[in-house]
C-alpha cells in the first residue's frame, strides 16, 4: 500500500516539477484560456442579453475544465514520447491503473486551478453574479462528469501509444469533435440533423445541460441580480447518465489502454521518438 501511494505521488511530483520548470508556458496557456473564455462571454454582453451571457459563461467555464482535464490525460503519453521517457515509465514496476490514476490526479488539480482562474476572470469581465446559483449541485455534477471525462481521456491516451506520429493529432480531432457536438456555446438543435445523435454520446452534453439548469440559465425568474438555480433533483436524469457513462468509460478506457499497450509491445510501437 505504501509503495502504491509513493508510485501515485511520483506522478504528482513529476507534474509539479515540470509545471514549475515550464511556468512561463503555464502562464501563457492560462492567459489564453481566460482571454478566449472572456471573448466568447463578451458576445452576450454586447447583445445586452443576460441569459445569453450566462449561457456562454457556463459553456466557456465548463469547457475549460473538461477539455483541460481530457487534454492533460490524453496527451500525457504524447508528452512522454516527446521527452523520450515513455519506455522508462512502462518499464517501471507500476500498474497501469496506478500510473493513469496518478496522471489523472495531477490533471484534475491542474484543471481545477485553471477553471478557478477563468471563473475569476469571467466575473471581472462580465460582472457575473452567482447569487442564487446552485453551486453545490454544480460541484456534484462536475465530480460525477470528471469520472466520465477521465475515462474519455484514457481512451484518447491510447492514440499516442498506437502511433508516435499521428496519435497526438488524433486526440485533438477527438477533442474538437466533442466541442462541436456537445452544445458548449449553442443549443444542440442548431447542429445539422445528421450530427445531432452524436451529442448524446458526449458526457459534456449532459454536464452542460445539468450545470445550466443549476445556474438558472433559461429560467425566466433568473435576473442579473439573482439566479434561479434549479435544485439537484432537477438534474437527476443527467446525473444518472453521467454516472453510467463514468462507470463504463473509466474501466473500459483502462482496459483498452492495457490492450493497446500490449499491442504496441508486440509491434514495436513503443520505441522512442521525438
Partner 1 sequence: MQQPAIQVRNLRKSFRKRNGFRKQSELWAIDDVSFSVAQGETYGLLGPNGSGKSSLIRVLSTLLIADSGYVEMLGFTLPEQADEVRRIIGRVSVDAAFYKKLSARENLLYTALLYGQNARQAERRVMEILEQLGMENAKFSTPLEEMSRGMQQKISIARALMINPPLLLLDEPTTGLDPKSRRDVQLFLEDLQRREGTTILLTTHDMAEAERLCARIGFLAHGKLVAEGTAAQLMQRAHTATLDDAFIKLTGEAIVEEELSADYAECAD
* Binding-site ranges for partner 1 (CB under 8 A): 2-4, 6-7, 9-10, 13-14, 17-18, 21-22, 83-85, 87-94, 262, 265-268, 270-272
- Cβ closest to partner 1, residue 87 vs residue 123: 87
Least distance between partner 1 and beta carbon 252 (Å): 23
Q: Three cell numbers at 5?
A: 501511494
Contact residues for 121 (Cβ-Cβ < 8 A; gap 6+): 34, 37, 38
Exposure letters 233-250 (e unless 16+ CB within 10 A, then b)? eebeebbebbeebbeebb
The smaller minimum CB distance to partner 1, of residues 18 and 195, is found at 18
Kindly tell me which of 84 and 231 has the beta carbon lying closer to partner 1: 84
CB of 173 to partner 1, least distance (A): 22
Closest CB to partner 1 among residues 90, 174: 90
**Cβ closer to partner 1: 88 or 136?**
88
Dist CA 176 CA 170 (whole Å):
10
> Cβ 72 to partner 1, closest distance in Å?
16
- Name every residue whose Cβ is closer than 8 Å to that of residue 235 and which is 6 or more positions away in sequence: 137, 141, 209, 210, 213, 214
CB of 22 or CB of 255, closer to partner 1: 22
Please state the closest distance from residue 95 (CB atom) to partner 1, in A.
8
Q: Whole-angstrom Cα distance, residue 217 to residue 196?
A: 21
Rounded distance, CA 78 to CA 202, Å? Answer: 23
Instruction: Please report how close the Cβ of residue 115 comes to partner 1 at its closest, in angstroms.
Output: 25
Residue 114 beta carbon to partner 1: minimum distance, rounded to whole angstroms: 20
CA 218 from centre of chain = 24
Closest to 171 (Cα-Cα) out of 265, 253, 49: 253
Amino acid at each position: 500500500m505504501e509503495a502504491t501511494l509513493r508510485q501515485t505521488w511520483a506522478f504528482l511530483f513529476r507534474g509539479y516539477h515540470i509545471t514549475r520548470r515550464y511556468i512561463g508556458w503555464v502562464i501563457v496557456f492560462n492567459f489564453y484560456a481566460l482571454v478566449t473564455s472572456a471573448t466568447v462571454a463578451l458576445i452576450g454582453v454586447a447583445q445586452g442579453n443576460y441569459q445569453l451571457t450566462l449561457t456562454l459563461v457556463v459553456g466557456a467555464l465548463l469547457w475549460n475544465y473538461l477539455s483541460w482535464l481530457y487534454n492533460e490525460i490524453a496527451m500525457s503519453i504524447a508528452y512522454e514520447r516527446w521527452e523520450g521517457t515513455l519506455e522508462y515509465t512502462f518499464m517501471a514496476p507500476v500498474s497501469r491503473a496506478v500510473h493513469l490514476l496518478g496522471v489523472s490526479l495531477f490533471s484534475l488539480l491542474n484543471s481545477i486551478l485553471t477553471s478557478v482562474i477563468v471563473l475569476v476572470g469571467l466575473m471581472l469581465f462580465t460582472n457575473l453574479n452567482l447569487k442564487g446559483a446552485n453551486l453545490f449541485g454544480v460541484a456534484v455534477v462536475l465530480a460525477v462528469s470528471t469520472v466520465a471525462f477521465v475515462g474519455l481521456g484514457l481512451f484518447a491516451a491510447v492514440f499516442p501509444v498506437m502511433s508516435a506520429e499521428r496519435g497526438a493529432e488524433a486526440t485533438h480531432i477527438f477533442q474538437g469533435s466533442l466541442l462541436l457536438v456537445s452544445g458548449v456555446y449553442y443549443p444542440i438543435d442548431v447542429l445539422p440533423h445528421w450530427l445531432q445523435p452524436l451529442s448524446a454520446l458526449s458526457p459534456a452534453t449532459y454536464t452542460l445541460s445539468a450545470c445550466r439548469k443549476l445556474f438558472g440559465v433559461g429560467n425566466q425568474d433568473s435576473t442579473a441580480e439573482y439566479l434561479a438555480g434549479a435544485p439537484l433533483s432537477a438534474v437527476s436524469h443527467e446525473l444518472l447518465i453521467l454516472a453510467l457513462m463514468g462507470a463504463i468509460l473509466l474501466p473500459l478506457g483502462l482496459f483498452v489502454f492495457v490492450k493497446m499497450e500490449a499491442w504496441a509491445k508486440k509491434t514495436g510501437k513503443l520505441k522512442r521518438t521525438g
